[in-house]
Structure 1
Amino acid sequence: MAVHAADQDFEEFVVLRSQSLLRTAYLLCGGDRAAAEDLLQEVLEKVFVRWRRIKGPPERYTRAALANASANRWRRRSRKPEAAWEQAGTPSVGGHEDAVVDQDAVLRALAELPPRMRAVLVLRYFDDLSEAQTAAALGCATGTVKSQTSRGLARMRELMVEVAR
């Protein structure tokens, strides 16, 4: 059975970009690696089906799909009652490494943000997209990206101070 060129292109895309996309998914999922892997797998399945019809850079399309799928998952989860173990929160990080503690604090703060705000900050600051690219990826106005960025950073500052206490 011959492999179609588009299928090879998709495989190459996944091999080259999966680690970067997993990092985005990890941040969108608030630091939950298992959820990030599931989210990425779900999105890559959808991207594969649409691969030949994607116009423009496939990475931009995939990142937008990750942000949207993450927000959809959050909406579905918020309708279900949480299990007691989920309400307990994540365990604190031990050790004396400042970098690890800082990373943990950022992930915890990101997890507290609404999904859309989290997506804006992840795409802008972790994936280094411009305001216009972020707006295009999320299907919203540039002004929305600006306001969500401003509010998100302010909220992150508040949350980081709370974590430091």
Structure 2
Amino acid sequence: MTPATLTPDEEFAAFMVEASPRLAHTAWLLTGDEHLAEELVQEALTRTFLAWNKVRTRDPHAYARRVLVGRRTNDRVKRDREPSYALPALPDDATEGGERAVIERDRLVRALATLTPRQRRIVVLRHLVGLSEQEVAHDLGVSLGTIKSTASRGLAQLRQVLESADDAPPQPGTERSGTER
């Protein structure tokens, strides 16, 4: 079947397969919580499906992303679902095989959690999702100057948090010598 002969439902199914991984990654970066991220993606896809006839000929990716970010913002305001507790330490066995990627993802999520919700949304969309400043401003409904200043402050805070984590002494029980195991 060629794209021109797809029904709207088939078009949406193809869109969903293509867009879901990117939406899930963005939602996870915004929340730091896999389950909440999955909920946001499902809601974004549901709302995109309901508006499919309007958005399918425009930019359905942008629409779904805006829904996802908007729902995250609304959930935060309504229920304050951001974790208000310190993230637990990474388990020792999580550093076996593929440890660098796990450790770096953990560091990134912890550092992102120190940002304000607005800073986190802007930094994630601008620097981790790769949207332009104009696209982020449009998605969030704020001025370009707000995007620039908030991104600058957020990145400065991330650098500070990540640098201080690099300078911190190892936690008891996390230091290992090469002769162990």
Please tell me the TM-score bracket, short chain as reference.
0.7 to 0.9
Q: With a CA cutoff of 8 Å and minimum separation of 6, indicate the structure with the bigger relative contact order.
A: 1
CA contact (8 A) 2:27 2:68 kept: yes
Q: TM-score, normalised by structure 2?
A: 0.77
Residues of 1 paired with 2:81 and 2:73: CA distance?
13
Structure 1 equivalent of residue 88 of structure 2: 90
Aligned to 1:23: 25
Q: CA RMSD, aligned part only?
A: 2.3
Partner of 1:39: 40
Distance 1:79 1:100, change over 3 A: closer
1:127–1:48: structure 2 CA closer, same or farther, 3 Å change rule? same
Per the alignment, residue 138 of structure 1 pairs with: 140
Within 2, Cα distance between the matches of 1:43 and 1:56? 16
2:3 matched residue in structure 1: none
Q: What TM-score do the two structures reach when normalised by structure 1?
A: 0.84
Structure 2: 5+ residue stretches without partners: 1-5, 169-181
Query: Which amino acid counterpart does residue 10 of structure 1 have in structure 2?
Result: F
Shift of 1:146: 0.5
Q: Do the aligned residues in 2 keep the contact of 1:70 with 1:115 (CA within 8 Å)? A: no
**SS of equivalent to 1:87:** coil
What residue identity is the alignment partner of 1:33? E
Task: Write out per-residue CA displacement over residues 3-40 of structure 1, whole angstroms, 9 at most, x where no aligned residue.
Answer: x822221111001111111111111112x111110111
Percent identical residues: 38
Q: Which consecutive unaligned segments of at least 5 residues does structure 1 have?
A: none
Q: What one-letter code is carried by the residue in structure 2 that aligns with 1:90?
A: P
Q: 1:135 to 1:103 in 2, by over 3 A?
A: same
Structure with the higher fraction of residues in helix conformation: 1
CA distance in 1, matches of 2:36, 2:156: 26
8 Å contact kept, 2:44–2:65: no
